[in-house]
Amino acid sequence: MVDRVWRGTSLTATDLQERRVLTEKWRPEAKYEWSTGESMSRFLAELKEGRLVGRKCDKCQLVYFPPISFCRECFVRTGEFVSLKDTGTVETFSISYLDTDARRIEEPIFVAVISVDGASEKMGFMHYLGDVEKDDIKIGMKVKAVWKPKKDREGAVTDIKYFKPSGRR
C-alpha cells in the first residue's frame, strides 16, 4: 500500500466549526416523487374508496394481499385484481405499552396481523385493533375494518382506523 501525501493543509472539524476557513451552507430544495407501482397504486386508490383488493396469480391461484405484481412462488406476473371483504381473522397480536415513537404510554395500543377474508393464507396484514378490551383479544377472532369518513381518506393504510371485533356496532 502506498501512502499518499497530498499537497496543502488538512482541515479538521474544528476548523470548519470555528470558521477558520471560508465555508458556505447550502440547503437544497429537493422535492421527490416516486411511483408506488401498478399493484400498490391500485391498492392505495381502492383504500381511498373504502375497498380492499388483492391480486391473483393465474398459475398457482394464490390471492396476494396487499396485491403484488409478481408471484413469489411462480415468478410470473400476477393477473387480475380481486375484490376482498374488509373482514378477516386475527392471526397474532401484540399489546404494546410503547407508542409508534417508542414512548411509554399508559393505555396500550393493540397491533395485530390479520388474514383478510378472500386472500390466500399467510398474507397477513398488520393493523391496529380497536373497540375491544385487551383481555378480549384472541387469536382466531373475527374482525372488521373501521374506516375513516370518506372525506378524510387519502389513499393510505391509515384510511382504515382499526379493525374491531365483527358482529358489534
Q: Which residues bind Zn ion (CB under 5 A)?
A: 57, 59-60, 71, 73-74
Nearer to Zn ion, 58 or 152 (CB): 58
Q: How far is the CB of 141 from Zn ion (least distance, A)?
A: 29
Nearer to Zn ion, 57 or 145 (CB): 57
C-alpha 149/C-alpha 159 separation (Å) is 8
Task: Look at residue 123 and give its three-state secondary structure.
Answer: coil
Q: Which residue has cell 479538521?
A: 12
Nearer to Zn ion, 60 or 98 (CB): 60
Buried residues in 90-121 as b, exposed as e (16+ CB within 10 A): bbebeeeeeeeeeeeeeeebbbbbbbbbbbbe
DSSP string for residues in 9-65: ----HHHHHTTSS----------------HHHHHHHHHHHTT-EEEEE-TTT--EES
Residues β-bridged to residue 144 = 87, 164
Nearer to Zn ion, 71 or 132 (CB): 71
Q: How far is the CB of 40 from Zn ion (least distance, A)?
A: 18
Nearer to Zn ion, 61 or 94 (CB): 61
Q: How far is the CB of 146 from Zn ion (least distance, A)?
A: 32
Q: How far is the CB of 74 from Zn ion (least distance, A)?
A: 3
Q: How far is the CB of 78 from Zn ion (least distance, A)?
A: 7
DSSP letter (8 states) at residue 162: E
